[in-house]
Amino acid sequence: MTIRIAPSILSADFARLGDEVRACEEAGADIIHFDVMDGRFVPNITIGPLLVEAVKRSTKLPIDCHLMIVEPDRYVEQFVKEGASMVSVHPEAGFHLQRTLTMIRKLGAQAGVVLNPATPIQVLDYVLDDIDYVLVMSVNPGFGGQSFIPSALQKIRDIRGLLDARGRKDIPIEVDGGVKAANAGDVVRAGAGILVAGSAVFQGNDYRATLGAIRESADKALSI
**Binding residue for ligand DX5, selected from 8, 59, 183, 210, defined by CB under 6 A:** 8
Q: Which of 94, 80, 168 has the alpha carbon at shortest distance from 130?
A: 168
User: What DSSP line would sit under 164-189, residue for residue?
Assistant: HHTT-TTS-EEEESS--HHHHHHHHH
Amino acid letter, residue 158 = D
Active site residues: 35, 176
Instruction: Please give the DSSP secondary-structure letter assigned to residue 45.
Output: B
CB of 66 to Zn ion, least distance (A): 4
Report d(CA 16, CA 25) in Å as an integer. 15
Within 143-172, which residues bind ligand DX5 (CB under 6 A)? 143-146
Q: Is 90 in the site for ligand DX5 (CB under 6 A)?
A: no
**Binding residue for Zn ion, selected from 176, 187, 207, 211, defined by CB under 5 A:** 176
Report d(CA 80, CA 86) in Å as an integer. 8
CB of 118 to ligand DX5, least distance (A): 15
Q: Closest CB to Zn ion among 4 and 66?
A: 66
Amino acid letter, residue 179 = V
Report d(CA 84, CA 111) in Å as an integer. 11
Chain residue at closest Cβ approach to Zn ion: 66
Q: Is 142 in the site for ligand DX5 (CB under 6 A)?
A: yes
> Which residues of the chain form contacts with ligand DX5 (CB under 6 A)?
8, 10-11, 33, 35, 66, 139, 141-146, 176-179, 196-200
